[in-house]
Structure 1
Amino acid sequence: TLFTLQLHLLAGTLFNLQAHLISLNDGIKYIEEDIKEQYHPKHHADVEGFTLTGVTLAKDNRTILNNINGQLMSGVNIISGKSGAGKTTLINILLGLEESHTGTALYRGHRISEALTEHILSEVSVAPQKPVLVSGTLEDNLLYGADDVCQNRLKEIVELLGFTRQGTDADALLATVIDVAGSGLSGGERQRIAIGRAILRDKPTLILDEPTAALDERTAHKIVEWLALHTRNLIIVTHDEKLKKKYGIKIELNETTADSVQV
């Protein structure tokens, strides 16, 4: 029994080491990429959000996005589509991380490109489905990338995300240790960390990538309703039928084509 226990401990250590090596390789890959001079516009046109005109993208003789037209402005904007319909690609275009498309993509009147990415991310926060975790506490992970967050605000968001339970101590919960591999965390807990992290960065625009995918319906819709009231421009990429019915659809993505829906 003792020998088996030691093997389990060794396996856990090797798994954590592998996760660190993967993160290191990713970091080296970014370091080796060419750095383009970033553009920070001093003035914005009198328009909010994103404007897409005839945005099309094809790779390996396959059309991923086809003639996207639409505006993602103030309020709740739903981008609908099943897995493989190009939702992640569209998010990358909005952030300037995918430049191989044709057509025009604008952020507040400025053409989106890799050079504008840093500026966009200074005003736009993204909650991906699978966040990168850092070694530390739950508090460290929630505050990753955030500045000057008071404890009352942090505890408010922890309660919103459903981490707390009646009788539990918020401070003890925030002190929970998390490793870089997220050992012991469920998919829903990882997703809530991603959403909380995005909220605490306090940006006027928030993009949620499938926020209801790993959460129970009650928690997911409670979070979205709160965000709809507290976020100037909320963009939700989802195939959740209830969210689509409640807020309408701005862009509908199919498996091989994508078309805008005027709402």
Structure 2
Amino acid sequence: MRRSSYPDHEVTTINWQAFKLILPYLFEFKQRIFFAMLCLVLTKIASVYLPFILKDIVDTLDAQNSTNEQLSDLVIVPFGLVAAYGLVRLSIVIFAEVRDTLFGRVTERAIRRISLNVFRHLHHLDLDFHLNRQTGGLSRDIDRGTSGISFLMRFMVFNIIPTLLEIIMVVSILFVNYGFKFAVITLLSIGAYIAYSVYATERRTRYVRAANQADSSSNTRAIDSLLNYETVKYFTNEEYEAKAYDKQLESWEQAKIKNRLSLFALNGGQAFIIAIAMTLMLALAAYEVSYGVMTLGDFVLINAFMMQLFMPLNFLGFVYREIKGSLANIENMFSLLARKAKVADCPDAKALKVDKAVIEVSDITFNYQEKRQIIKGLSFTVNSGEKVAIVGQSGSGKSTLVKLLFRFYDVKSGTVSVDGQDITKVSQHSLRKNIGIVPQDTVLFNDTLFANIQYGRPDATEQEIYKAIEMAHLTEFIESLPDGVNTIVGERGLKLSGGEKQRVAIARTILKDPAILIFDEATSSLDSQSEQAILTAINDVSKNRTSVVIAHRLSTVIDADNILVMKQGEIIEQGSHQQLLAQQGTYANMWQLQQTSLDD
């Protein structure tokens, strides 16, 4: 089980390059973006105009009150202004809702397209990447990336840009209508607020990052443990796993505590700046009103403007930190798209054309690590319709040959060809489409038996699926189940026995109907009765097909046309079962040992 945590990107600066990655996905709806921006501007114009109506209402009421007009006049005169105030406030909500609706579709489509591209790309990456990945951490990277796009679009379009637009409009109005003092105080207070928010947010970023890393680590640990449920049970390590998980959660808890304290400092400082700014502005306005320079309505207007400006700025620290994090998460997700597969189709790759399904392996070498060579100058041929078995001790390179034939890895030297076509010159899709495999450990989807068999060829008819079930000798087993083919097999097929899973794998491969069949130790973990049932199914499906059998039990390959005996990446013997026994070599010794073991 892999235990290292999946690292978070350290966010030190805002990386605006992430915007360039998103823009192509956004511009699919140019008209929607235009109208959303128009609604945004109209919303801010209405928002800035609202305090002026409030000022006029207050001034009108104050004037009427001071002149002792009749109650009827008092109600009638400002009624239009009050109605206008309600209409403008309604228009702000309507424009905002239209803007959200228009731009929401843009964001959702962008997230959908990006998520699909990442998903497809992950399936195109090589086996080495997937063997070294950590599912929990990787899934969190994708989740954070898509959430980052959603957050970035929502707050940049609906918070940052409108707030900047409103600041410009309000400062301009204050300067023109009330002089530079009000404009300067507003600008200085906003500047101090932004500077402190950025500073405090930078200080607390390390706590946020630590919490994220602890979150990824604990999530990876939990998923890793649950994926290896059987192993945990075999070794009765439930408490060990719980303690290890709790240790990760403890780190997360401590990081969250520090994160909360730093948030307190951020919010406290912001509140102090707002209080000072509001006090200065209102004191200056009150002074102007007392000397008759400004009206009571002006006092209310300035108070309303300051409230409108600082309300969205209240979230500045949060927005700044989240935008930084979102941009980093977006870039992190796009880095998955930028990752190149180690095994890729050549530019002029053609589809594999299979006629006789002859496999030729010519002087190939391969190694996973530089200092350890796995395959050493290997050559052999599997003729059309032949059944060739590959046997040998563990670590001799048998299963590696399967990976090379599927082109999960490329050989270091030499060639592997099918019907004279070098597999590095044809598309991987066409190559794998013509090869079927029954692996040693069959992993099924948590779905019905029917769906798992249909996975071999999703467009197969129901009649074809039932024929595959019959050829795999699954009919009797399925009929014994209460839900038949609709039985849910459980996560990774845990509700089925090893033999049952192998027969499902055979049915799936039969349905695929490939020209070449590979059986990778398909009976190694089965009892004798299950093994015979599987061997019968294998022999039925292998008729008139080129097949390669990787075997541990020699009794399963005695009918093979040719048996290759491997040792340390080389073929040391080959021939039929009887020929190899007559040689009295490695194969004969292996046979003798296994027969002795069976007798015991």
Residues 39-54 of structure 1: matches in 2 within 5 Å? 40-41=349-350, 44=353, 48-54=357-363
Give the 3-state SS of the residue equivalent to 1:218 in structure 2.
Answer: helix
Structure with greater contact order relative to length (CA < 8 Å, sep ≥ 6): 1
The aligned counterpart of 2:371 is: 61
Whether the 8 Å CA contact 1:57–1:65 is kept in 2: the answer is yes
Whether the 8 Å CA contact 2:364–2:411 is kept in 1: the answer is no
Structure 1 CA distance, aligned partners of 2:336 and 2:439?
19
Whether the 8 Å CA contact 1:66–1:259 is kept in 2: the answer is no
1:226–1:167 distance in 2 versus 1, CA, 3 Å = closer
The aligned counterpart of 2:424 is: 113
Q: How many aligned residue pairs are there?
A: 242
Give the 3-state SS of the residue equivalent to 2:429 in structure 1.
Answer: helix
The aligned counterpart of 1:236 is: 549
The aligned counterpart of 1:173 is: 484
Residues 244-259 of structure 1: matches in 2 within 5 Å? 244-259=557-572
| CA deviation after TM superposition for structure 1 residue 164, in Å | 3.4
- TM-score with structure 1 length normalisation? 0.76
Give 1:237's aligned amino acid.
I
| CA deviation after TM superposition for structure 1 residue 189, in Å | 2.2
1:185–1:61 distance in 2 versus 1, CA, 3 Å = same
Asked if 1:142 is matched to 2:453, the reply is yes
Is there any run of 5+ residues in structure 2 with no aligned partner, and where? 1-221, 228-333, 577-600
Whether the 8 Å CA contact 2:446–2:491 is kept in 1: the answer is yes
Structure 1 CA distance, aligned partners of 2:478 and 2:467?
16
- TM-score with structure 2 length normalisation? 0.36
Structure 2 CA distance, aligned partners of 1:31 and 1:171?
45
1:98–1:212 distance in 2 versus 1, CA, 3 Å = same
1:73–1:134 distance in 2 versus 1, CA, 3 Å = same
Give 1:41's aligned amino acid.
K
Structure 2 CA distance, aligned partners of 1:237 and 1:253?
11
The aligned counterpart of 2:326 is: none
Asked if 1:34 is matched to 2:34, the reply is no
Root mean square deviation, CA, Å? 3.4
Structure 2 CA distance, aligned partners of 1:221 and 1:29?
46
The aligned counterpart of 2:392 is: 81
Structure 2 CA distance, aligned partners of 1:214 and 1:193?
15
Give the 3-state SS of the residue equivalent to 2:476 in structure 1.
Answer: coil
Task: Single out whichever of 249-258 and 134-143 deviates more from structure 2.
Answer: 249-258
1:199–1:43 distance in 2 versus 1, CA, 3 Å = closer
1:202–1:48 distance in 2 versus 1, CA, 3 Å = closer
Task: Single out whichever of 145-154 and 30-39 deviates more from structure 2.
Answer: 30-39
Whether the 8 Å CA contact 1:55–1:102 is kept in 2: the answer is yes
Deviations 1:126-168 (A, max 9, x none): 2222233222101111111414433333233323434333893
Structure 1 CA distance, aligned partners of 2:356 and 2:384?
10
Whether the 8 Å CA contact 1:97–1:114 is kept in 2: the answer is no
The aligned counterpart of 1:218 is: 532
Give 2:366's aligned amino acid.
L
Structure 2 CA distance, aligned partners of 1:47 and 1:226?
19
- Select the structure that is richer in helix: 2
Give the 3-state SS of the residue equivalent to 2:427 in structure 1.
Answer: helix
